[in-house]
Amino acid sequence: MARELRESSDGEREKLEALVRVRFDALAPVMDERRMRLWAAAEATAIGPGGGALVSRATGISEGRIVAGRRELAELARAPASTPPQHQRVRRVGGGRPRADRANPDLSPALEELVAPATRGDPESPLRWTSKGVRTLAAELRALGHEVGPTTVSLLLHELGYSLQAAKKTVEGKQHPDRDEQFRNINTQAKECLAGGIPVISVDTKKKELVGSFKNGGREWQPIGIPTRALVHDFPQDAVGKAIPYGVYDTGRNEAWVSVGTDHDTAEFAVATIARWWNVMGRKSYAGAKELFITADAGGSNGYRSRQWKLGLQEFANTTGLEIRVSHFPPGTSKWNKIEHRLFSHISMNWRGKLLTSHEAIVSLIAGTTTRTGLRVKARLDRRRYRTGLTVPDRVFKQLQIEPHEFQGLWNYTIRPNGDRSREQ
């Protein structure tokens, strides 16, 4: 546990901290002061080095009390079983120093005022992020006349809905002035479509992978001293080939389709994958549907500037008779696309530590991805060749049945079937 804590990321440490906080909140009403410090000491000991600071941040129990609890646990462990328990001082309920924010009602508003200008993040999430450390914030508060330490600041930040994050993990390039409005627009449309029985899918290309005996990040259980052997260098010339997973995530049914391409990530490949999802999964799940809502990134094979993408969707609409409504996430916000954290992240966790030695192995690992919330994934290998560098002439593009929406028509548009070519499903 100690080694894992040292090697874990900020996000993993925060998850562990959140678990400790949940247990503390559940037990606090039935624990007196002594039981509380013994429990905190036991949690810190189980976590290992750094556990005392983590438990203190999660619960607000001072590290001094946790140290005292550890000493007490050690004494209890050394005492013979026949030794009667010694009387221990137990603080009465409500005893001790009052919390800093209760003794000083101006503390929380002052902290909020310091942090608010630095917050940013997903407007659809209640979680707010800040890049200021608790020691810096505590020093600034003391300069304003508030006597407070970093542990209390950490506790107050959690209660205010903040989480410490590294700036480099939250800012993705320039932010468009309509960024937040587009988030709200996508959220509103998705809710309306789901309520009306209209399928809502999130699409994107996962990171390309070299196929071969290359080291894959992460660890898995192996016999001691017999690790899986991988190549020392990740040279492309040593690869069997490349794998290009393009995914379609059905947000309403928590299902996904992934086509693993072997050629190029093109708009034609992206639309072909959507068509395969519809023929294998979507048509059956949404019998009688007349419309489809697609959320996609701003760039790549499904970018809003790609004429080939729109031509492919027009042909898909003509074939199925579906009206295709599309909304792109603003530039630099690809991480908010649901497919990233509802599908791709779980695929990465499922194959961590495993060698992606063949395309068939990759397809099997993707198809075997599940979650506790019931995610179901189907995957197929797509060995078709997809040409690059294709262009769509102006005369062809003008014939597409594209209707830009009133708000940000480049990002939001509907493609209707061509009446001369469409047919019923």
Lowest mean pLDDT among 164-178, 361-375, 411-425: 164-178
Predicted local distance difference test score (pLDDT) of residue 252: 94
182 CB neighbour count, 10 Å cutoff:
21
Identify the residue whose tokens are 């002035």.
177
**pLDDT bucket at 403, cuts 50 / 70 / 90:** very high
Predicted local distance difference test score (pLDDT) of residue 101: 65
Angstrom distance (rounded) from CA 240 to CA 254:
33
**What angle (nearest 5°) sits at the alpha carbon of residue 17, between those of residues 15 and 19?**
70
Joined tokens for residue 357: 């030695």
Q: What pLDDT, in 10s, does the model give residues 364-398?
A: 999 999 988 899 999 999 999 999 999 999 999 99
Angstrom distance (rounded) from CA 199 to CA 325:
10
Identify the bridge partners of residue 200 per DSSP, sorted by sequence position. Answer: 293
Identify the residue whose tokens are 């894992």.
4
Q: What pLDDT, in 10s, does the model give residues 130-163?
A: 556 778 888 888 888 888 888 888 888 877 777 6
**What angle (nearest 5°) sits at the alpha carbon of residue 389, between those of residues 329 and 236?**
85
Which residues, including other chains, have CB under 8 Å from residue 260's CB and lie 6 or more apart? 243, 244, 245, 359, 362, 363, 366, 379, 380, 381, 382
Q: What pLDDT, in 10s, does the model give residues 213-250?
A: 766 765 555 555 555 666 655 667 767 889 999 999 99
Predicted local distance difference test score (pLDDT) of residue 125: 42
Angstrom distance (rounded) from CA 136 to CA 130:
12
Lowest mean pLDDT among 162-171, 199-208, 211-220: 162-171
**pLDDT bucket at 356, cuts 50 / 70 / 90:** confident
Predicted local distance difference test score (pLDDT) of residue 307: 97
Angstrom distance (rounded) from CA 289 to CA 252:
14
**pLDDT bucket at 201, cuts 50 / 70 / 90:** very high
Which residues, including other chains, have CB under 8 Å from residue 191's CB and lie 6 or more apart? none
Averaged pLDDT for residues 330-340: 89
Lowest mean pLDDT among 191-200, 291-300, 412-421: 412-421
Q: What is the largest CA-CA distance in the chain?
A: 94
Q: What pLDDT, in 10s, does the model give residues 52-69?
A: 888 998 888 888 899 999
**pLDDT bucket at 175, cuts 50 / 70 / 90:** confident
Res. 423: pLDDT tops 50:
no
- State percent of the chain over pLDDT 90: 46
